[in-house]
Amino acid sequence: MSSLTKTASAIRVSLLAASASVAFSGAAFAEEDKNVERIEVTGSRIKQVDMETSSPVTVISAADIKVTGETSVADVLNNASMNSFGSWRGVSGYGAGASATSDVNLRGLGSQATLILLDGRRMPGTSSSSGTVADTSSIPMSIVERIEILRDGASAVYGSDAVAGVINIITKKDFDGVEINYTGETPDVEGGESNRFAVTAGFNSEKGNITFTFEHYDSASIYDRDVWRLDDPTYSGYSSFSVVPRGKYKDADGKTQYFTNSDLCAASDNVVDGTDGNNNGSCYYSFGEVTKLFGNVNKNSILSNFSYDLTDDIKFRGRASANLSETNTRYAGTPVSTNMPTMSADNKYNPVDTDISEIRMRSVHIGERDTLTENNAIDFLMGLVGYADIGHGLDWEINAQHTRSTTNSFNYNLINDDIVQDLIDSEQYDIFNTTGMSLDAWNSMMTDMYSQAAHTGVYQAQFNSTQFDGLVSGTLIDDGDFLLAAVGGVEYEMIEFTQTSDPQSALGIISGGSGGDDVNAERDRSSAYIELQSTLPGNVDLSAALRYERYEQDGNIASGYASSTFDKVVPKLGASWRPVDSLLLRASWGQSFRAPNMGEMFAGEALSFERALDTVWCDANPGADENYCQPSNQHKTLYGGNPDLEAEEGESLTAGFVWDALDNWSIETSYYQITYDNKIEVVGVNRLIAEEAANGYNPDIIERDADGRIDVIHSEYRNLGGLETSGFDFVSRYSQETGIGDFSLKVELSHVLEYKSKSTPESDWFEESGLQDRPDWRGNATLRWDMDNWSAAWATYWIGAQESGNEEYGVTYLADIPNYFKHNVQFTYTHDWDGSITMGVNNAFDKQAPTWYDGFYDYRDVNIGLYDVLGRTWFLSVNQKF
């Protein structure tokens, strides 16, 4: 068609009005006698072909999802090419409930720069993100109608914190009948078997409909030892916090020495004897032998959508959902590391007769650190959607929504450092076995000591949100040649977030868990927005949006109490032009800002142990301490909030075209450019060490002991000096009917031209695109074949090669990363009883994920967020409708 119909124009206006659920979950009521045809636009009822706007949107339909071979929303999103550098997948060893969640990271700008919506409304957030990042693994796969990814940032209507883009997950509505789905997966590695069972039921009447979905998911754990090459002779995933204690002391010449009982090393399990035969050195512990990579997971999800026509022009609608999950993870026995014990020279069990300044020990004798994490979330939405016969007609809606997300985490077999110190001082325990006990007797003694110091850590978090909002939309002018439509709305949200650890962990006397990062904060968010859409002669569309957003938040900090206010007006402009029927040219520009969340501002310091090579000390003391100068060496690191943070601000530009080259072939290309100022990040330990090497010693960031080695690293949240990224997206679809079946091909590519940042306004730009973990190419291709009752699909995922980054980071031990291809294959038979059976294999050629280091192999030596570490995985899916 050479010009847009009024119907198509109205639909496109509704689509652009992003937060207006008229487009995604509301309704527009038709009146046959009106000049402008008004149609209901809910979920999959939007069937018009010409749905492209000035903003690039990737639509992943339920059929597209099925042929990917992936069985969760989290994995589907993680494989999207615009998820440039991969995203978080829950693994053992992370606190605040993070080991049980997944997220998405568009453009590599961080998960908090991507807004996740469910039917056009914000999803409940996780406690590990202070409620600002949704858990994409919690969404029932069977209820997903489609996923829409808005690829330009700075959406002034969806929410100003959508810096990198918006992901809107649309659920099935108006479903009638019953549908049962089952999927089972079995990887080639030991463990990891999973089952996903879902039942969906729906009922429609003349007045409304109700849809209900229940989904159960469970998966068995996978141990690190079954994934990583622990028998590789270059494997270096060992810790000096070992089952056999190691003491640090000064010899008569003032030189640092270490004492370890070499006899115990030789006799103990799961250790590597690093002593020199004179008890000088370390008895290294291979913790990867006992830890879980992915824990046991058990999830139950419920989601219901319902609507009812109160009158011809007013509809009552709502949504209710609940997600309940339990995850059991395991990390190695606790290293007594928060406050390392000491031993005085006059202790009768002191093996060196001089003060031992620190003792490295691990409570393997009482078992591993097991963590049970319970994540629960509920979400209720109720609202009225209506139509008023005023002017050209007005659509309106008012809504109330309440969300509560809770996390309870129980960490078993932690250690109370104070008790361990008291027991050593009591001279009841010969931890170095200076008396020559048998191994069994010494183990029994150590079990008794650790049992007295054992502690169960408790972490609890709760996020509560109550929101009220309303909007009005309609056509303001329609004279046949010119159409102007508008949507305007307001939102008010009240948020409470608490995060607490048990008192002993909060005091910093417990090893093996996290604590000290307590948060008690409140936040109010007020928003108002307006968007205008005009259709001009010559097939030109223009849009303009403006949003005012204000955050008021306060919380407790170590020094007492802090409060802050952030507000900003953010605009967005868009234009599209269709010079011929088959070609659409478009561009958009906008600004955004994101206020710091409550954890980033108000959290106390939490303990972690980060791996890094201390290039500052090791370069100055070559060969002095090979045990210390290892890239896998762990350093005590404290992460904390920063009440002086400023709000992030961004600006984005996109431009591109959509070309229907043939009836069965379409091409879309988009260029994006994002400037991100004051980006809030916890700077990585490697980079902090590199900054010290360049700028000099700063004890506020890295504390060093008397020998100059790292003692403690402080890595609070900070505003970076700036971040800029740009690149291209390319999407092409082709279909062909033949005598041997129907074929369709979809190709999606993303190329990062630049990704550079600087830690302060005065710093030099640091270009990371194309370096390790920053691939500048990602893509996927899906080939599908259908004939009669049979279909097959082949999906290929590509991650481009990356350079080591040795020169940029000032190191020599990182490896170049080769191109990575993963192939998923499946076959489906659709039988005559309204159901189907699908069999397939993901990572069909068992492609191994590339590793970080050159010349040696370390524990979890892979970017799990980017690569498949499980290898070949078989799956079976069964679908039946009634």
- Ramachandran angles phi, psi of 377, nearest 5°: -145, 135
pLDDT in tens, 819-833: 999 999 999 999 999
Sorting pLDDT into bands at 50, 70 and 90, what band is 353? Answer: confident
Pick the range with the lowest mean pLDDT from 54-68, 124-138, 257-271, 616-630: 124-138
Does 90 have pLDDT greater than 80? no
Sorting pLDDT into bands at 50, 70 and 90, what band is 741? Answer: very high
pLDDT confidence of residue 95: 65
> Other C-beta atoms within 10 Å of 297: how many?
20
3-state secondary structure of 42: coil
Specify which residues 530 forms β-bridges with. 488, 546
For residue 259, give every residue at least 6 positions away whose Cβ sits within 8 Å of its Cβ, in sequence order, or none: 246, 247, 249, 279, 280, 351, 352, 356, 432
Q: What is the mean pLDDT of residues 350-359?
A: 93
> Other C-beta atoms within 10 Å of 784: how many?
22
Output the CA–CA distances (angstroms, integers) from residue 153 to 13, 166, 373, 471, 836, in the order listed: 19, 7, 33, 22, 39
The answer for 20, left when phi > 0, alpha when psi is -120 to 50, beta otherwise, is beta
pLDDT confidence of residue 38: 39
Distance between CA atoms of residues 343 and 348, nearest Å: 10
* Burial per residue of 559-585, b for 16 or more beta-carbon CB atoms within 10 angstroms, e otherwise: eeebebebebebebebbbbbeeeeebb
Residue 125 DSSP label: B
Does 721 have pLDDT greater than 80? no
pLDDT confidence of residue 789: 94
Sorting pLDDT into bands at 50, 70 and 90, what band is 36? Answer: very low
pLDDT in tens, 243-292: 999 999 998 888 888 899 988 988 888 888 877 777 777 888 988 899 99
Does 4 have pLDDT greater than 70? no
pLDDT in tens, 489-498: 999 999 999 9
Q: In sequence order, what DSSP letters do the residues of 383-430 get, joined into one string?
A: EEEEEE-STT-EEEEEEEEEEEEEEEEEEEEEEEHHHHHHHHHTT---
pLDDT in tens, 427-455: 999 999 999 999 999 999 999 999 999 99
Pick the closest to residue 606 from 638, 559, 635 (CA basis): 638
Distance between CA atoms of residues 65 and 735, nearest Å: 17
For residue 12, give every residue at least 6 positions away whose Cβ sits within 8 Å of its Cβ, in sequence order, or none: 4, 50, 51, 53, 533, 541
Distance between CA atoms of residues 675 and 754, nearest Å: 11
Residue 482 DSSP label: -
Q: What percent of the chain has pLDDT over 90?
A: 51
The amino acid at residue 239 is S
Looking at per-residue pLDDT, the higher value among 401 and 812 belongs to 401
Pick the closest to residue 152 from 165, 167, 139 (CA basis): 165
Pick the closest to residue 643 from 543, 563, 583 (CA basis): 563
Does 208 have pLDDT greater than 80? yes
Distance between CA atoms of residues 215 and 224, nearest Å: 28
Sorting pLDDT into bands at 50, 70 and 90, what band is 17? Answer: very low
pLDDT in tens, 212-231: 999 999 999 999 999 888 88
Distance between CA atoms of residues 319 and 203, nearest Å: 15
3-state secondary structure of 57: strand
Return the sign of the alpha-carbon dihedral for residues 112, 116, 117, 123: negative
Domain boundaries defined on the chain = 6-228+293-333+369-421+446-605+640-683+720-881
Q: In sequence order, what DSSP letters do the residues of 713-752 get, joined into one string?
A: EE--EEE-SEEEEEEEEEEEEEEEEETTEEEEEEEEEEEE
CB 618 within 8 A of CB 630: no
Does 456 have pLDDT greater than 80? yes
CATH fold label, 6-228+293-333+369-421+446-605+640-683+720-881:
Maltoporin; Chain A (2.40.170)
Read off the tokens for 305.
């959508």
Does 606 have pLDDT greater than 90? no
* Burial per residue of 792-831, b for 16 or more beta-carbon CB atoms within 10 angstroms, e otherwise: bbbbbbbbbebbbbbeebbbebbbebeebebbbbbebebe
Q: In sequence order, what DSSP letters do the residues of 218-257 get, joined into one string?
A: EE--EEGGGTS-TT-TTB---BSS-SS-EEEEE-TTS-EE
pLDDT in tens, 389-405: 998 888 899 999 999 98
The amino acid at residue 77 is L
Specify which residues 734 forms β-bridges with. 665, 745
> Other C-beta atoms within 10 Å of 440: how many?
9
Distance between CA atoms of residues 508 and 185, nearest Å: 42
pLDDT confidence of residue 605: 74
Looking at per-residue pLDDT, the higher value among 160 and 252 belongs to 252
The amino acid at residue 468 is F
Supply the mean pLDDT for the chain: 86
Q: What is the mean pLDDT of residues 716-731?
A: 89
Does 27 have pLDDT greater than 90? no
Sorting pLDDT into bands at 50, 70 and 90, what band is 763? Answer: confident
pLDDT in tens, 139-148: 888 888 888 8
Does 735 have pLDDT greater than 80? yes
Sorting pLDDT into bands at 50, 70 and 90, what band is 516? Answer: low
Distance between CA atoms of residues 327 and 126, nearest Å: 14
The model's pTM: 0.85
Does 788 have pLDDT greater than 50? yes
